[in-house]
Amino acid sequence: MNVENEGSGAKNVYLGAIEAGGTKFVCAVGDRNGNVRERVTFPTTTPEETMRHVIDFFRQYDLSALGIGSFGPVDLNRNSATYGYITSTPKQKWANFNFVGEMKRHLNVPIGFDTDVNAAALGEHLWGAAQGLDSCIYITVGTGIGVGAIVENQLLHGLTHPEMGHILIRRHPDDPFPGNCPFHGDCLEGMASGPAIEKRWGKKGAELAGRTEVWELEAFYLAQSIANYILILSPEKIIIGGGVMKQEQLLPNIRRHVIDFLHGYVQHETILQHIDEYIVSPGLGDNAGICGALALAIQALDKQ
């Protein structure tokens, strides 16, 4: 859609979006339909340098609202003194960074703020693989593992926000790897993230494509977590992305293990007969996160 043609004589509505990752930042402007018009990507360095790039990009546009999907953990409690902060991240210099406050200093617009995976879940719900459904989860398996959830058409929040990448799982009896989560050792992220694969097998995931045992074990762990998410949230669609999922043999292995772990307990044809359409790749591909941040901007604008 072309924003210039939107409405009759209406002012152009530019929405800003930030997908803030621990490795890279994506900044974009787009429209209400999830179309991205311009985007830039740069590596995540210090907060000062990274924010300079962010502000320089958005300065070129007359924004109506901004959405931020951020790596975390983040403080999403609007009544908290540290609302809008990145809190206890092990990522150097970013702990206790006032992300929303810093953006507000430069841009006087409504700001939507959520986790990167909640943003991606929202993007997929509006424009991707979960369109028209009331619920879904979005899982990313990359440098870390994170999960965002839509429940009854709303993003799921709680005391803080769910951290479903750090759940405890049952170890495979033949796997001696101790796990590499700095907080929990052998939680899901500690056993199945990209860096965990690299540490266990001594090579990056991309170089292990031909090693079937690598992806069989990876699917064993991811499928356990997915079975748990199904039992706890009963999502209508499970979307799974991130760098590690570039291994195409993973998805069929995951589906097979999920059915094994559930063992006939959840009697629904979606799982028993149509699992290929139930556990899927992102409909928006690599754009789930940035489109989700656009969606957060729309929510912030509409709430105003």
Q: Is 16 in the site for ligand ADP (CB under 6 A)?
A: no
Q: How far is the CB of 17 from ligand ADP (least distance, A)?
A: 16
Answer with the entry of Zn ion, ligand ADP, none that 166 interacts with (C-beta below 5 to 8 A by kind): Zn ion
The 182-221 contact track toward ligand ADP, x by CB under 6 A, reads: ------------xx--x-----xxx---------------
CB-based contact 190:181 (threshold 8 Å): yes
Nearest to 178 by CA among 206, 199, 203, 202: 199
Answer with the entry of Zn ion, ligand ADP, none that 243 interacts with (C-beta below 5 to 8 A by kind): ligand ADP
Q: Is 283 in the site for ligand ADP (CB under 6 A)?
A: no
Q: How far is the CB of 14 from Zn ion (least distance, A)?
A: 38
Nearest to 72 by CA among 45, 95, 93: 95
Given 72, 242, 282, 292, the residue binding ligand ADP (CB under 6 A): 242
Q: How far is the CB of 265 from ligand ADP (least distance, A)?
A: 31
Given 243, 252, 256, 259, the residue binding ligand ADP (CB under 6 A): 243
Distance of CA 141 to the CA centre of its chain: 9
Q: Is 22 in the site for ligand ADP (CB under 6 A)?
A: yes
Q: Please give the residue whose beta carbon sits closest to ligand ADP in the complex.
A: 194
Nearer to ligand ADP, 106 or 204 (CB): 204
CB-based contact 192:217 (threshold 8 Å): no
In angstroms, rounded to a whole number, what is the distance separating the alpha carbons of residues 55 and 189?
A: 32
- In the chain the first and final C-alpha atoms are separated, in Å, by 25
Q: How far is the CB of 131 from ligand ADP (least distance, A)?
A: 23
Dihedral pair phi/psi, residue 81, rounded to 5°: -65, -20
What order do you get walking across the sheet with 63-70 strand by strand? 36-43, 24-30, 14-20, 63-70, 111-115
Nearer to ligand ADP, 14 or 94 (CB): 94
Q: Is 143 in the site for ligand ADP (CB under 6 A)?
A: yes
Nearer to Zn ion, 68 or 187 (CB): 187
Nearer to ligand ADP, 143 or 224 (CB): 143
State the pairing for strand pair 14-20/24-30.
Answer: antiparallel
Q: How far is the CB of 188 from ligand ADP (least distance, A)?
A: 14
Interacting residue ranges for Zn ion, rule: CB under 5 A: 166, 181, 183-184, 187, 189
Nearer to Zn ion, 28 or 196 (CB): 196
In angstroms, rounded to a whole number, what is the distance separating the alpha carbons of residues 118 and 75?
A: 13
Q: Is 244 in the site for ligand ADP (CB under 6 A)?
A: yes
Nearer to ligand ADP, 41 or 60 (CB): 41
Burial of 6 (0-12, 13-18, 19+ CB in 10 A): middle
What order do you get walking across the sheet with 136-141 strand by strand? 154-155, 145-151, 136-141, 238-241, 279-280
In angstroms, rounded to a whole number, what is the distance separating the alpha carbons of residues 77 and 68?
A: 15
Given 23, 33, 46, 88, the residue binding ligand ADP (CB under 6 A): 23
Structure tokens at 24: 């890279």
Contact set with ligand ADP (CB under 6 A): 21-23, 142-143, 194-195, 198, 204-206, 242-244, 246-247
